[in-house]
Amino acid sequence: MAKKTKSKQAKSKQVKARQGALTHSKGKAAKPKPKKARKLTKAQAKAILEAAKQGATGRKPKRERISAQALSRRTGKAAPARPAKGKPRPQGPAIKHDPEAPMKLMQMLMGFMVSKALSAAAKLGIPDALADGPRYYTALASAVGADQKALHRLMRALTSLGVFAEVEPGTYALTPMSQMLRADVPGSMRAMAVMITTPSHWLPWGRLEDTLRKGISVADDVFGKPLWDYFKDNEEDARWFNDAMTSFSGMTAQAVAEAYDFRGVKKIVDVGGGHGFFLSTLLRAARGAEGVLYDLPQVIQTLPRLADDVAKRITADSGDFFRAVPEGGDLYTLKHIIHDWADDQCRQILTNIRNVMAEGGRVIILDAVLPPDCAQDPGFLMDMNMLAMTPGGCERTEKQFRDLCAASGLKLTKIIPTPSPVSIVEAVRA
């Protein structure tokens, strides 16, 4: 009985096999048995979904379209401005390979080393020690009180930059550049070289990243007080600063005196005039005029002896130019004053001058005037110095000067370029 059952089952399988082959030969697929669905773990399901999103299934994922405004809301960053219709988006210049670029960049990066090396040489008095002629480095070190080997290394570095000349191995002499670092030459830049790396400038520049993030100088945070109060409490830094401003006047004063017409001027008031070098130079050009030197009390108290040929024509006065300025001048001068302050403070200074100057009086501002484009100009680095050092000071363009004068009741009449780093910005009462 069992044998018959097995025989029937075998025949049944053979019949089904023949039917399947016959169906296949007629072009119809045999129906497969339904498979039991396999359950996926959560991790497997997540992996399959991620693969699908990334295109692993062979289909390209749909790109999400998002507006610039929506992207701005998500990221918290300002949306880029849309170019005007019909105007193509501006393209930058093509970046070409420059084999000299790495060396040029390295020289820029080492600029602070050059500044400090020049400052140290000037403060030690090395150029003055070479005034009588070349010296071997050992003798030079003894003259300035420096270590011989260390001084030799400094002299080699500055000689490689053209600051000094090596006339024989180890023997150094002055060049036109180092001549300007002597203390006793006309137009000396020794004080400027020293001042530029004193704490008053060195420390705020060391925090430039913070200034860029905040948008205003962190000098007050560095010193714990406003810069001018710092100078009041640090006499040595203040002395180097005032001497540096006098030194800078040596670069600009004669250029201004030769470029401006002083005919008919009777009284020149130099507002924030420091130690009087600039005013003295102008009075030599305006022979019939008298001068008033006006600055803070601590500056006037340290006033050195003025040159004999103009001393009798100068009156020194002290005060705060934000509150008042001497009256009755027919020419007011502001050399490197306006660039120290933000527009609000500048309007106060200029308004004070406008209110008290003589009938037909003029004011001339002596600052850099920035070009409208980014052409090579020293004014842009001076502008960065104002950003790092002052609470809102800046160098300005012609339009900015024009707007500033108009807001102060003045009318800009002309701008006169000079061979120095400053231009003459002239204004009259509007």
Catalytic residue among 152, 201, 275, 339: 339
Does 125 fall in a domain? yes
Does 345 fall in a domain? yes
Whether residues 266 and 406 fall in one domain? yes
Are the C-beta atoms of residues 294 and 319 closer than 8 Å to each other? Answer: yes
Q: Indicate the residue among 159, 183, 207 that finishes a domain.
A: 183
Q: Indicate the residue among 183, 200, 226 that finishes a domain.
A: 183
Q: What's the DSSP call for residue 53?
A: H
Whether residues 418 and 284 fall in one domain? yes
Assign residue 358 the CATH number of its domain: 3.40.50.150
pLDDT given for residue 23 in this prediction: 47
Tell me the CA distances in angstroms from 303 to 194, 230, 294, 323, one per residue in order: 20, 19, 11, 22
Both structure tokens of 375: 């052409």
Does 316 fall in a domain? yes
Whether residues 179 and 279 fall in one domain? no
Whether residues 271 and 415 fall in one domain? yes
pLDDT given for residue 334 in this prediction: 98
Phi-psi region for residue 400, left (φ > 0), alpha (ψ -120 to 50) or beta? alpha
Q: What is the DSSP string of 147-212?
A: -HHHHHHHHHHHHHTTSEEEEETTEEEE-HHHHTTSTTSTT--HHHHHHTTSHHHHHHHTTHHHHH
Q: Indicate the residue among 126, 157, 183 that finishes a domain.
A: 183
Does 40 fall in a domain? no
Where helices occur in 26-170 by DSSP H, the ranges are: 42-53, 68-75, 101-109, 111-124, 126-129, 137-144, 148-160
Regarding pTM above 0.75, the answer is no
The question of whether 152 is a catalytic residue gets the answer no
Does 375 fall in a domain? yes
Whether residues 389 and 304 fall in one domain? yes
Does 107 fall in a domain? no
Q: How many domains does the chain have?
A: 2
Whether residues 268 and 404 fall in one domain? yes
Does 219 fall in a domain? no
Give the largest Cα separation in the chain, rounded: 149
Assign residue 167 the CATH number of its domain: 1.10.10.10
Q: Residue 158's domain spans which residues?
A: 112-183
Query: How many other C-beta atoms can be found within 10 angstroms of the C-beta atom of residue 367?
Result: 24
pLDDT given for residue 43 in this prediction: 72
Whether residues 160 and 299 fall in one domain? no
Does 306 fall in a domain? yes
- 3-state helix, strand, coil split of the chain in percent (to 5) is 50, 15, 40
What does the pLDDT profile of the chain (430 residues) look like in tens digits?
Answer: 444 454 555 555 554 555 554 444 444 445 555 555 566 677 777 777 776 666 544 455 455 555 656 656 666 666 666 656 667 777 777 788 888 899 999 999 999 999 999 999 999 999 999 999 999 999 999 999 999 999 999 999 999 999 999 999 999 999 999 999 999 998 899 999 999 999 999 999 999 999 999 999 999 999 999 988 999 899 999 999 988 888 887 779 999 999 999 999 999 999 999 889 899 999 999 999 999 999 999 889 888 888 888 999 999 999 999 999 999 999 999 999 999 999 999 999 999 999 999 999 999 999 999 998 888 888 999 999 999 999 899 999 999 999 999 999 999 999 999 999 899 999 999 9
